[in-house]
Amino acid sequence: MKPALGQVSDFDIRLLRLFRAVAECGGFSAAEGVLGISRSAISLQMGDLEKRLGIRLCQRGRAGFALTDEGREVLRASQTLLAALEDFRSEVNLLHRELRGELNIGIVNNLVTLPKMRVTGALKALSEQGPEVKISIGMMTPSDIETGLLDGQLHAGVVPLIQPLSGLDYLPLYEERSQLYCSREHPLFSQLDDALSEVDLAAANAVAPSYRLPPQAQALQQRLTPAAAASDREGIAFLILSGRYIGYLPDHFAAGWVAQGMMRPLLPDVCHYAAPLALAVRKGRRANLVLERFLQELERTS
């Protein structure tokens, strides 16, 4: 029984490429110019291939060169193998030019009204470069985004940079300024800032966020009287617009209501803070060309 061929190595593939060239040229002498090696070197390598395969591939001698029946079958199989390798190389190289795959992003809500939304510009560039990329955005709380990044459900997330987690890398984006607001239905709305004091603010019912805040925001929040809670900024806005509560909102988010005369900031010189926002990705993440291109575009928008 002839020995079975084991694992195909790089050396075997090189020998098969040589065999294909010899077969297509019709002999050792004709293949010398194509392969750039001598006839004796070709003969030695052909002998190596026949030993590794346990098969006589060709007849060579005074009668000329001819493939054996088994040689023709090996040539057909080698052509299929080498063509598959070339297809693989082409497809991998194509990935560097044509982006394909998914990008799952988690974003804390109510950021779309930021005047300089770098994420939007990066998503536009990514979509132009990779029309087949499927982008999925989920509006989430910061803790849900961090959990999604760590367990691999999300590729990237935009979160307040308050308490960095050791398992995540952060790319700072911008700062988000917040102020204390009331609605026009609230008794404080009609009072001028000159007539307002922090005592007046402490006496009013306030909304307490149930998410993490930067230290400055925590200090300001502690001066208020919590009478309601909200898990996100939209919830805070609902409660403020009820006319029963005051609360902190990002300026860009409140701007629409302020322009309509439905909200106003209270003691803006005192009651304000800035929170840094960052794009977070998991440390030690698997290579992902779509994500890396998105990060590159995000860097360019700075």
Give pLDDT tens digits for 170-206. 999 888 999 999 999 999 999 988 888 989 999 999 9
Mean pLDDT of 225-251: 95
* Whether residue 138 is found in the same domain as residue 182: no
Pair (270, 282) in one structural domain? no
Same domain for 269 and 179: yes
pLDDT, mean of residues 196-222: 93
One domain, residues 260 and 296? no
For 124-178, the pLDDT digits (tens) are 988 988 888 899 999 888 888 999 999 888 999 999 888 889 999 999 988 899 9
Question: Residue 76: which domain range?
Answer: 10-95
User: Does residue 146 form part of some domain?
Assistant: yes
Residue 120 is predicted with a pLDDT of 87
Model confidence at 65, pLDDT cuts 50, 70, 90, reads: confident
Q: Is residue 1 part of a domain?
A: no
Does 4 reside within a domain?
no
The type of residue at 226 is: P
Pair (110, 236) in one structural domain: no
Shared domain check, 232 and 285: no
Residue of 96 and 290 predicted with greater confidence: 290
Does residue 62 form part of some domain?
yes
Q: Quick one: 24 and 60 in the same domain? A: yes
pLDDT of residue 281: 94
The tens digit of pLDDT for each residue in 258-296 reads 999 999 999 999 999 999 999 999 998 877 888 988 999
pLDDT of amino acid 289: 84
Distance CA 28, CA 11 (A): 20
CB burial class (10 A; 0-12, 13-18, 19+) of residue 259? Answer: exposed
152 and 107, same structural domain? yes
**CATH number for the domain harbouring residue 53:** 1.10.10.10
Please write down the long-range contacts of 232-235, taking CB distance under 8 Å and 24 or more positions apart: 232/108, 232/109, 232/110, 232/141, 233/109, 233/110, 233/209, 234/109, 234/110, 235/207
Work out how many domains the chain is built from and give that number.
Answer: 3
CATH number, residue 138 = 3.40.190.10
Residue 94 above 70 pLDDT?
Answer: no
